[in-house]
Structure 1
Amino acid sequence: METVLKTESKEEQKVFNTCWEPCAIEKGMRLIGGKWTGSIVYHLKEGPIRFNELTRRLAGASKKMIDQRLKELESNGMVKRQVLNTRPVGVTYELTPFGESALHILEELRVWSESHDI
């Protein structure tokens, strides 16, 4: 498919393979690109973690924001929530196999960011 774009200089530019639907990159970014979402997934890589421990590790994020992102990750099938039979009742979060499949992407992003001082 070919699309013609007009630029400020009124020259026409032809663009090929225009995406009218969300492309694969956009779909992936919707899953892990939200504020704090990638960081939460990355911190869950070592196994189940309790909510309060996760909030300590993500010191810049509010509990409300972390809770919201965890619910989104759970609804997307990336995170599993487990209620513990303890007093007081505790909750842990861990990655599902689908969530674990995003870890190599986040690790590459971390390496790229560090190597470019971003």
Structure 2
Amino acid sequence: MKAQIQIDVAGRKRVAGACTEPCPIERGMRIIGGKWKGSILWHLQQGPVRFNDLVRQLGGASKKIVNQRLKEMEEIGLVKREVLSTRPVAVAYEITEFGRSSLDVLEQLKQWAEQNGI
């Protein structure tokens, strides 16, 4: 089946019936689909984890990348940060209820990967 191409008022080509804004899958992937985000949520599901312990659990991520992802996730409400001590600085991260709501999706993704040998 060949897609129908239409020309919009600005002269741009568009596929007939295509979404003009991100669909729910796209929006969901923007929230939990970034590199390391799903793994971070997965490791936080049992309770708060200190930053350095989380970096060790992830295995291949640099501290810089983990810190960036945690900041992004904190901004959108997936995780919350708690300062444990200021000298030396020690922080722990905990999954929020919003973040916890993604765990079913991550569990299904895990099962799908295992079933398909991925």
Q: Could you tell me the TM-score, scaled by structure 2's length?
A: 0.85
Question: Partner letter of residue 85 of structure 1?
Answer: S
Pairing of 1:10-49 with structure 2 (within 5 A): 17-49=17-49
Runs of 4 or more above 4 Å deviation: none
Contact 2:50/2:90, CA 8 A, preserved across alignment:
yes
Q: How far did 1:87 drift?
A: 4.2
RMSD, aligned α-carbons: 1.8
TM-score (norm 1): 0.85
Contiguous gaps of at least 5 residues in structure 1: 7-14
One-letter identity of the residue aligned with 2:51? F
- Give 1:75's aligned residue: 75
Asked if the contact 2:55/2:62 (under 8 Å) is kept, the reply is yes
Distance 1:86 1:19 in 2: 48
Deviation of 1:89 (Å): 2.8
- What is the total number of aligned residue pairs between the two structures? 108
One-letter amino acid of the structure 1 residue matched with residue 53 of structure 2? E
How far, CA to CA, are the matches of 1:75 and 1:89 in structure 2? 21
Q: Match for 1:105: what amino acid?
A: V
